[in-house]
Each structure stands twice: as C-alpha cells, then as structure tokens.
Structure 1
Amino acid sequence: MATKIRLQRFGKKGKPFFHVVVADSRSPRDGKFIERLGSYNPNTNPATIELNFDKTLDWVNKGAEPTDTCRAILSYKGVLYKKHLEGGVKKGALTTEQADTKFAEWLGAKDGKIEGKKDDLTKSKDEVRKAALAAEAKKNADRAAALAIKNAPVEEEVIEETPEVEEEAPVAEATEEVPVSETTEGTEEEKA
C-alpha cells in the first residue's frame, strides 16, 4: 500500500485550515486516513504549523511520500533535514553527536529567522498605526480650524467715507437761463 503525507482541508470558504495526515494514496482528499500528524493554518502570518516531529520522522523513514506542499512544510520544520543527517550517521560520515549539534544549530538559526520576521511584522504594524494616527490628528486639526473660521463672529468692515469736494459748475454760467414760463408759452403759440 503506497502511503502519502498530505493535507486534509477543513475550515470555511476562503478560510482554509488543514490537517497533515498519512493516508493511502488511493483514498479521497478529505476521506479515510491512517494517522494525523499535525495541522497547518495558512491564515496567520507567519503560517502556523504544528507537527508531531517524531511520528512524522518515523513515517518519512518508513517511506511515506509527502506531497509538494507537505514537503515544503516538513522542510520548514526540519523533518527532512533530520532524515538527511540520520542518513549520514548510517553511512558513517557523521557521528550521532555531530548530527545532533548540526540540527540544534539549524533549529536555532531557523527560530531566529522566524522571530525576526515576527518582530518586523509587529514593527511595520506599529509604524502603520502611528502614521494613521498622525494623519487622523492632522485631519482633525484641519477640520477644527475650518470650523473655527466658520463659527467666528463676522467683523463689519468700516468704510471710511471721504468727503467729496463739490465744484461749482462753470457750465451753469455759460448757459443762459431761460424761464420756464416763456418756453411753454412759445411752444403753445407755435402749435396754434
């Protein structure tokens, strides 16, 4: 019977959650399985992976073939590297102590990278939050200034009137003054 280490999908639409299982290669994806090895949640950042390391290593040593995604998960957790080091011990290239120290160094470096990524993510979230708060404070200050201008009492502008100097019109002197009664009489006679 050919066994595979693969993922079983759980969760709702758009929010997948997977179990890492050992199953017969002929069984359906979410069907019958032999043993559950752990879980994988890609919804978190970084992805949450929980594996029973010893059971997984045992199944890999027995010949269970991981799928592509499971191979990446096992490599990320160090199962495949541990199998590689055990192969070196069997061949006599390494001693058990050397293999254990190499694996411990690798785990320390891997944990350092993971913690660094988590720290970077929290720092970037904090920076984004601070930038958003600063932008919001600026916007609120602009709104308050506009409201203060709108609600300020209107000061009436006092226009100083300049006294106009009246000039006597020399035109009145040049024109002859004709009495009104004479002009009206003359026009009536002409009409008759």
Structure 2
Amino acid sequence: MIRIRLQKKGRKKRPIFHIVVADSKVARDGRIIEQVGRYDNVTEKKEVVLNEDRILYWLDTGAQPSDTVRKILRNEGVLYKRHLMMWGKSEEEIETALAEWKSYRDSKGDDSDSRKDKHKDVLAAEEKEFKDQIQKKAAKAAVELETESSDEETATAETEEAEEATTEETTDETPAEEEVVEETAPEAEEEPEVEAKEAAEEVEENVAEATEEPATEEATVEETEDAPAEEEKEEVAEEPKAEASSSQTSDDMTAKEAIDHIRDTDLDALKGFISDDESRKTVIAAWESKQSEG
C-alpha cells in the first residue's frame, strides 16, 4: 500500500521533515517514490511547502496519508479543496471558498486564547480587586484611628484644664487652713488629758490587733484555695479565644491562598470558610469541586 508520510531530515535538534510518497513496507529513511512537500516547524521560517497537484493525484490513485500528514493537509486546506472538486465546483468557486475559509481560520487563530491563559487572567483580575478592597479597608481604618486620636487629645486637654482649676482652688483654701491651725493653738494647754486618752486608745488597738490576726490567717487560706479556681476560669476563657483566632473565612485570603486552603483541608473542616459575600468565581469553583469530590 502506498503511503504519504513524513521523512526526517536536517540535523540534531534542528529537524526538517520531507513529505514523501513511499511504500508502506519500506523503512522510514528508505527508498521513496516521490517528494511532494516539506514541513518545518522548528526553524525561524516555520514554513509548509506542498505540491498540491501531485498530492491530489496520489490521493486519487488511492494513497493513504499518515495521521500527521492528514492534519497538515487539513490545516492547509488541501482536503477541503479536494472535497469541493469532488462536488463538481468550478475553479472560481473553489478559490473564493478557500479564500473565505483561510480568512476565517486566521481570525479564529488570532482571537482564540487557551483555557489556561483565560484562567490566569481571571485570577489576576480577582487578585487586583481583592487588593483594592484591602487598600480601601486600610484607608478607612486609618481615618478612624485619626479621629480617635483627635478625640483623645481633646479629652486630655479638658482633663488638664480641670486639674489646673482644682489646683487653683486648693491654693485658695490653704490660708483658711492656716487660720484653723492658729485657732487650735490655745487648745495645747489640755495636753495631759489628751495623753491619757491616747494611752487608753493604744491599749484598745492592741486588743483589736490580737483578735484580728486569726481572721487574717483564715482570709489568706481562702484566697489560696480560690486561686486555682480563678486560673481554671482564665484557661477556659482563653480556649474560645484561640478557637476564634484560628477561624478564618475566604474574605481574609487571596484567591490563590483560598483555593490552596480548600484543596488541602478536609470538607468537614471547611464549614463556614466560604462567606456569603464571596464573589470570586475561581474560589467558588474550587469549593464546588471540593463538595463534588466529598
């Protein structure tokens, strides 16, 4: 059986393929019947040269192209031209149809982007939107801090004014206290009676201190017993705080970080991770795929 296939030529790491007609039993680099084209997709030229008349002749005689050669002929419009010729179209109709087909092919090749590139563009847009939101939140927080600092400054100024007013009042009251001291000076004559009263008061204070010592010891014992209970309460109160700090939502992460977190964690641990305000398509798609896998 006659085959239309590629024959490797050129040199190492710079291959060039000849499109040849040969017997299917002959080796790849063996004897050929005819060369009908050249295919180069490595060098800077990247050209495809075809002898359409001879290729159509061999196809009509029953030669079978290989899969690679069939793709080349399809991309170059040779098979489409043969199809139009089989339908009995004139040469002018064939030329116009081929021209329309080539223009459509070129426009489709220019406008078509790969799925990976589109996914990257979507991720970049979402990342940019997320960063803009973070910047807006930071600016809003800075404004709030400035307003709070201004309020604190005004409050401190008011307290300083109040303290100055109180100091002025105390300075005004000091002459009156001096007058009271002068009035109490004549009472110094009653010192013997005062000394007797002080001795009696000291005796009473000693008795009171002796009675208060057991009570203070009991109070210290009770305080030592209550200390472990207070420490347990503090530990119990700190545990919910730790749990609250570990809970994050998808709004606190970038799109890439949220997607990696969804892929790496279990489905049960992701409850509440996706917030109701989540609008990034990639994060939602990752969440749906995780649910379908679970």
Q: TM-score, normalised by structure 1?
A: 0.51
* Structure showing the higher strand proportion among its residues: 1
Amino acid at match of 1:107: K
Q: How does 1:17-166 map to 2 (within 5 A)?
A: 17-44=16-43, 47-89=46-88, 94=89, 97-110=92-105, 116=110
Partner of 1:16, secondary structure, is: strand
**Aligned-partner Cα distance in 1 for 2:2–2:78:** 17
Q: How many residues align?
A: 112
Partner of 1:75, secondary structure, is: helix
Deviation at residue 41 of structure 1 after TM alignment: 1.1
**Aligned-partner Cα distance in 2 for 1:109–1:46:** 23
Q: Which structure has the higher relative contact order (CA within 8 Å, separation 6+)?
A: 1
Asked if structure 1 preserves the Cα contact closer than 8 Å seen for 2:5 and 2:65, the reply is: yes
Asked if structure 2 preserves the Cα contact closer than 8 Å seen for 1:61 and 1:83, the reply is: no
* Structure showing the higher helix proportion among its residues: 2
Deviation at residue 9 of structure 1 after TM alignment: 0.5
Amino acid at match of 1:74: L
Q: TM-score, normalised by structure 2?
A: 0.34
Partner of 1:29, secondary structure, is: coil
Moved more, 76-85 or 47-56: 47-56
Segments of structure 1 that go 5 or more residues without pairing to the other structure are: 118-192
Q: How does 1:5-24 map to 2 (within 5 A)?
A: 5-24=4-23
**Aligned-partner Cα distance in 2 for 1:83–1:51:** 14
Segments of structure 2 that go 5 or more residues without pairing to the other structure are: 112-294
**CA-atom RMSD in angstroms:** 2.6
**Aligned-partner Cα distance in 2 for 1:96–1:41:** 29
Deviation at residue 113 of structure 1 after TM alignment: 5.8
Deviation at residue 36 of structure 1 after TM alignment: 0.4
